[in-house]
Chain A
Amino acid sequence: MSARLSRAWAILALPLISIGLSVIVGSLVIVFSQWLVTGELQAGLALDAYGALVSGSVGSERAIVNTLINTMPLLLGGLAVGLGFKGGLFNIGVQGQFLMGALGSVIVGVQLRESPALIAIPISLVAGMIFGAAWGFIPGFLKAVSGAHEVVTTIMLNFVAIAILAAAVSGPLNVIGSQSPQTLPVGNASLPVILGRNGTIAIIYAPIMAILYGWLLFRTTRGFEIRVAGASPDAARYAGMSPRHLIIWTMSVSGMLGGMAGATDLLGATHQMTTTYGTTVGFDAIAVALLGRTNPLGIVLSALLFGAMRTGASAMQIQAGVPADLVGVLQATILFFLIIGPVIKRIFRLKDAKTGLEDSATTFTATYGGEATIR
């Protein structure tokens, strides 16, 4: 038992210490920024803020449902980034895949708004997944055939997605006579509510995707190939796998998960689209995957944490007067302490845990320079 306990500690220590340190940094930011603006130094404000953050995210049944609903797109996005990481690919384009997924689901959803829900919902959701997969396929294909690094191409495609979305909403999808460009609501294609006031079935299917993600990676041949290619492309090639094929496959599936996150947000929460549609899910997803160390359970837990933080942030702003943007600061500091892990481990005298992140973390930028050729 104690052996298992110490193993669990070896895995969890760094994330927990990072979260703890970032809470401390966050309180310093709260107290000193207040002092800067009002000239008063009140240490209690940090406690008030965190209290409001916690009660706003898990303090009532309604808050818990809101947290769950905010968690699901983050979870799907985190899986998208995580799958890329496992395959040695940095999919920084979840933002674009999210937007394209939402666009795909609104295009189909509006068409099917009066069809029976049993038809409209799955088709709209799948449309979003296909759009997302297509948006992940492009950088995967480009990397496989020309070696164009996926980090740069996915960043570029994020902005192309923003432009396509704005053009579509203000053009063909626009409702004639609306004050500002917007689409029709998706009607019957809206995800059904199964919990509380707004808890949709995403609460069920997103965790199922996390299980499938774990099954794919650790129980199938394809998952093994992805992990080998991520850890060592040369070993993968030597074992007779095709890195090109794996890159395209991984990026497409990763994009599909990102698209599903977007479709979930659109069909479950906003139900229609404006030209400024968009969330921070794409970038938060990177934080989710890193904090969860690309492990399915880890991604579920960190998505819950960030989902709760996003949900409680508005309560914090209203009750304690601390701006909701603090959440971004907290996220960034958690990541900061995570990636200076070697330094933290030395300070806290931690043992090394056998996890996925460390072995793959050096591979993303190592392939960045020079004339990339994928054999």
Chain B
Amino acid sequence: MDHFLYGIPIVGLVFELIGYLVHITPIIAPIVMKASVSIGFAALCGVMCERSGIVNIGIEGMMLVAAFVGWMAGVYLEPVLGSTVGPVFGVTPTLLVALVLAVLAGVLVALIHAWLSISVKADQIISGTIINIAAFGITGYLISLLSINSPEGAGQFKAWNPPQAISDLPVVGWLFDTVFAQGPITIGLIVIVVVFQIALFRTRWGLRSRAVGEHPRAAETVGINVIRLRYRNVMLGGALAGLGGAFLSMESTGTFQPGMTVGRGFIGLAAMIVGRWTPIGAFGAALLFASSVGISQSILIAPPPGQLGDILISLPPQFFDALPYLVTIIILAGVIGRSIPPAADGQPYEREAAT
């Protein structure tokens, strides 16, 4: 046993691992970026809702419905609106309208969640669970009816081709490529993250939203309409989840599969927690979680040489699948850094009786 332990130079291995990660980063970066989009939108939806005091575990269902509606709108609108390809991103009128409808579908599902949790004051976790069960049921039901005719969707958004000069820049060229050689929803995510971060911490709306999530009674006292603001923010969250769903069926692929969100709504929830309920933090965590998938693929294709490679290959690939969830549990338990939700998160707001 002693002999075995001495045989592994731990410090050397750590450096080798860092070297390997730096080496593969430019290669896996575009894959990681794509994998992080729907997780990122789900996390932003979570931040939007929970910052104003509404727990949302129905993100998965909202994304699934939006993905389905986007795809189905494409099927039905393609013959009507035609498929004239626009100047950029391969947009067609059909795709644009379908995207709008997908986002609206997300908003509509969020409205149900808002009504149940704000007006009916039902338990928000039960409400989210209902949304998930209903979303899986209705999309699974409709897709098995529709797929009898094996309909053609409206295709998908294409990635933008940045000028060669930018991609060829030394050292940072790959970074620009990662961000800009993408479809419109992916680029949109980055823009939204920045805008959302500024809005949440630097505008009146952001201050009010945070107040409503931390201490709604105090917010009401200074004249903020808690109920209306919570409704509005949950619906905005639904729009974000809708974009995340639309990415799956309109940009990443051009089809809809039953249950195609495969838990991304829940990883988004995890990313929100690890990112401490801030937009940039949540997006960073989404990138981190997505890279766990990228690294596991890269190890399969091109493992690092020597002992490090042997160790990494001997890890079951499922280890990397479980990593985001394990990290979240560890952070939630306060082992490495605490992550604390908004104080009024999950509590229905009861207006004080007028006197």
B141, B318, B322, B341: the one within 8 Å of A323 (CB)? B141
Q: What does the 1/0 interface line of B14-45 toward A look like (CB < 8 Å)?
A: 00000000000000000000000000000000
Contact: A148 with B266, CB < 8 Å? Answer: no
Q: What does the 1/0 interface line of A8-45 toward B look like (CB < 8 Å)?
A: 00000000000000000000010001101100000000
Bound: A363/B43 CA distance, A: 25
Contact: A29 with B316, CB < 8 Å? Answer: no
Contact: B130 with A336, CB < 8 Å? Answer: yes
Query: Shortest distance in angstroms between B158's beta carbon and chain A's nearest beta carbon?
Result: 30
Chain A residues with Cβ under 8 A from B328's Cβ?
A: 152, 156
Contact: A369 with B347, CB < 8 Å? Answer: yes
Question: Which chain B residues numbered 127 to 145 have a C-beta less than 8 Å away from chain A?
Answer: 127, 129-134, 136-138, 140-142, 144-145
Contact: B269 with A148, CB < 8 Å? Answer: no
Contact: A328 with B273, CB < 8 Å? Answer: no
Query: Shortest distance in angstroms between B42's beta carbon and chain A's nearest beta carbon?
Result: 13
Residue of B at shortest CB range from A371? B340
Chain A residues with Cβ under 8 A from B5's Cβ?
A: none
Bound: A274/B229 CA distance, A: 48
Query: Shortest distance in angstroms between B52's beta carbon and chain A's nearest beta carbon?
Result: 11
B53, B132, B270, B341: the one within 8 Å of A156 (CB)? B270
Contact: B125 with A364, CB < 8 Å? Answer: yes
- Determine whether A208 belongs to the interface, using a CB cutoff of 8 Å to chain B: no
Contact: A339 with B329, CB < 8 Å? Answer: no
Bound: A328/B148 CA distance, A: 20
Contact: A325 with B345, CB < 8 Å? Answer: no
- Determine whether B319 belongs to the interface, using a CB cutoff of 8 Å to chain A: yes
Query: Shortest distance in angstroms between A30's beta carbon and chain B's nearest beta carbon?
Result: 9
Question: Which chain A residues numbered 67 to 106 have a C-beta less than 8 Å away from chain B?
Answer: 90, 92
Bound: A328/B137 CA distance, A: 4
Contact: A163 with B137, CB < 8 Å? Answer: no
Contact: B125 with A151, CB < 8 Å? Answer: yes
Number of A-B contacts (CB under 8 A): 180
- Determine whether B164 belongs to the interface, using a CB cutoff of 8 Å to chain A: no
Contact: B136 with A328, CB < 8 Å? Answer: yes
Chain B residues with Cβ under 8 A from A153's Cβ?
A: 329, 332-333
Instruction: Label chain A's interface by main secondary structure.
Output: helix
Contact: B345 with A370, CB < 8 Å? Answer: yes
Instruction: Name which of B115-123, B165-173, B202-210 contacts chain A.
Output: B115-123
Chain A residues with Cβ under 8 A from B134's Cβ?
A: 328-329, 332-333, 336
Bound: A255/B348 CA distance, A: 29
A34, A327, A369: the one within 8 Å of B345 (CB)? A369
- Determine whether B146 belongs to the interface, using a CB cutoff of 8 Å to chain A: yes
Bound: A159/B134 CA distance, A: 21
With A148-B332, A148-B334, A152-B269: A366-B127 Cβ-Cβ less than 8 Å: no
- Determine whether A353 belongs to the interface, using a CB cutoff of 8 Å to chain B: no
Chain B residues with Cβ under 8 A from A63's Cβ?
A: none
Bound: A29/B140 CA distance, A: 13
Contact: A323 with B130, CB < 8 Å? Answer: no
- Determine whether A55 belongs to the interface, using a CB cutoff of 8 Å to chain B: no
Question: Which chain A residues numbered 280 to 303 have a C-beta less than 8 Å away from chain B?
Answer: 283, 286-287, 290
Contact: A331 with B140, CB < 8 Å? Answer: no
With A333-B134, A368-B341, A369-B345: A159-B263 Cβ-Cβ less than 8 Å: yes
Chain B residues with Cβ under 8 A from A342's Cβ?
A: 120
Chain B residues with Cβ under 8 A from A159's Cβ?
A: 263, 266-267, 321-322, 325
Chain B residues with Cβ under 8 A from A333's Cβ?
A: 134
Bound: A91/B15 CA distance, A: 42
Contact: A329 with B126, CB < 8 Å? Answer: no
Contact: B123 with A339, CB < 8 Å? Answer: yes
- Determine whether A232 belongs to the interface, using a CB cutoff of 8 Å to chain B: no
Question: Which chain A residues numbered 148 to 163 have a C-beta less than 8 Å away from chain B?
Answer: 148-149, 151-153, 155-157, 159-160, 162-163
- Determine whether A59 belongs to the interface, using a CB cutoff of 8 Å to chain B: no
Contact: B116 with A340, CB < 8 Å? Answer: yes
Bound: A330/B346 CA distance, A: 26
Instruction: Name which of A164-172, A223-231, A237-245, A246-254 contacts chain B.
Output: A164-172
Contact: A327 with B319, CB < 8 Å? Answer: no
- Determine whether B104 belongs to the interface, using a CB cutoff of 8 Å to chain A: no
B125, B273, B326: the one within 8 Å of A90 (CB)? B125
A92, A148, A340: the one within 8 Å of B329 (CB)? A148
Contact: A152 with B332, CB < 8 Å? Answer: yes
Contact: A335 with B133, CB < 8 Å? Answer: yes
Contact: A325 with B329, CB < 8 Å? Answer: no
Chain B residues with Cβ under 8 A from A276's Cβ?
A: none
B136, B140, B325, B344: the one within 8 Å of A369 (CB)? B344
Bound: A128/B155 CA distance, A: 47
A142, A160, A167, A325: the one within 8 Å of B141 (CB)? A325
With A33-B141, A339-B126: A368-B346 Cβ-Cβ less than 8 Å: yes
Chain A residues with Cβ under 8 A from B340's Cβ?
A: 370-371
12 A-B pairs (CB sep. < 8 Å)? A36-B145, A152-B269, A157-B325, A163-B325, A170-B318, A171-B316, A286-B129, A328-B138, A329-B137, A331-B137, A339-B126, A369-B53
Top 5 nearest A-B pairs (CB, nearest first) are A328-B137, A369-B345, A365-B346, A368-B346, A332-B134
